[in-house]
Amino acid sequence: MDFRYYTNAISQASKNFAMGIFTVGLLLIGFGIIIIALPELFAMLAALVFFAAGVGCAVTAVKIYFAQRRIDKMGSDDNGGRKNVQIHSEHYDL
């Protein structure tokens, strides 16, 4: 009689995980060989990726700056309170 502490689903998940790691390893080896063969091309691609990421960061920073500036202008227009708001308080005499 075979007694297992885990189910077949766990075994299948382990096999799939091992296959995924093996595939990623082979892809990394292939990319390494291509980079060794064509270093100028990959240097250009890396430079393009960094340039695009830098432009994206700069655009996002400018958007945040202008949004914050607009929020600050909206807050400075009023006198520290909301318009058309009335406070009702009831005094109960005991």
Q: Please indicate, yes or no, if residue 67 is contained in any of the structural domains.
A: yes
User: How many of the other CB atoms lie within 10 Å of CB of 42?
Assistant: 14
Q: Please indicate, yes or no, if residue 13 is contained in any of the structural domains.
A: yes
Place of tokens 């005991």: 94
Cα-based distances in Å from 33 to 19, 38, 65, 82: 21, 9, 44, 65
Q: Does this model's pTM top 0.85?
A: no
| Count, residues in the chain | 94
User: What's residue 65's pLDDT?
Assistant: 92
Are 30 and 48 part of one and the same domain?
no
Q: Could you list the pLDDT tens digit for every one of the 94 residues in the chain?
A: 566 666 677 778 888 999 999 999 999 999 888 888 998 988 898 899 999 999 999 999 999 999 998 888 876 655 555 667 777 777 766 5
User: What's residue 94's pLDDT?
Assistant: 59
Residue 57 is inside which H or E element, if any? helix 39-77
Are 43 and 33 part of one and the same domain?
no
User: What's residue 3's pLDDT?
Assistant: 62
Domain of 17 in residue numbering reads as: 8-37
